[in-house]
Amino acid sequence: MELLVFGHAGARVLVFPTSMGRFFQWEDSGMVATLSNQLENGELQLFCVDSVDGESWYAKERPPAERAWRHILYDRYLLNEVLPFSSQHNANPFLITAGTSFGAYHAVNFAFRYPYLVDRVIGISGLYDIKLFTGGYTDDNVYFNSPSDFMEHESDPARLKALRHIDIILAIGRDDSSFSNNESLSGILWGKNIWHALRIWDGWGHDWPWWQQMIHMYIGGHD
């Protein structure tokens, strides 16, 4: 698995590409350039990871259980290889996960699965019910990687406390097909007293020019 690192200091940012995107997508799409000032000033350091979507959720020719298991392996790679790698390069404890479209799913899913590790999550134009990719099929691996599902039933006090610590930002265009799913997830979070920001943009807003504006506005920095 390949990845790219941009910046030299500041908050570590785990960056996910869009559906079946590659680790160089944020650079090619102008997202890295959008954050050039923060990167040069040592406010942020991006760790842009690759995806296995074509072998997992988007591999429609495979049984859903097999696709979910492939995602589990990817999740372990992030947890056991990428995060330690980022910490070796940057001792800053503040961790942000970020992504657009299907990358937003990954960013939010990882943050909500590991709330003790993540301090801020930025999900832009995301969809958070993974069952829409499995034809409604679910098992433990699907359920615990579908934020719309596992967050609805989250009741562990320690995990809820950790989740309330995260600075959660969901941004979505009002005309985006995933708008109602974002509203639903927001309702689930408020129902558990998890403060967050649901930022609704006029129109569709599901493309790189909007995403560049959104990431610049919401990512912030942390010394």
Structure tokens at 125: 């134009």
pLDDT given at position 103? 98
The pLDDT score that the predictor gives to residue 113 is 98
| DSSP bridge partners of 98 | 15, 122
Task: Write out the two tokens for 98.
Answer: 């970020």
How many whole angstroms from its chain centre is CA 141? 18
pLDDT at res. 223: 39
Contact criterion met (CB below 8 Å) for 3 and 50 = yes
Delineate the domains of the chain, giving CATH numbers in brackets: 3-218 (3.40.50.1820)
Q: Which residues of the chain fall below pLDDT 70?
A: 221-223
At 203, is the secondary structure helix, strand, or coil? coil
Tell me how far CA of residue 182 lies from CA of 104, 197, 217, 221, in angstroms.
11, 11, 19, 24
Per-residue tokens: 69: 């298991």
Query: 23 vs 41, 46, 66, CA distance in Å?
Result: 23, 11, 24
Q: Is the dihedral of CA 20, 28, 7, 171 positive or negative?
A: negative
Q: Spell out the long-range contacts of 61-67 with Cβ–Cβ below 8 A and sequence spacing 24 or more.
A: 64/134, 64/135, 64/137, 64/139, 64/142, 65/137, 65/139, 65/141, 65/142, 67/133, 67/134
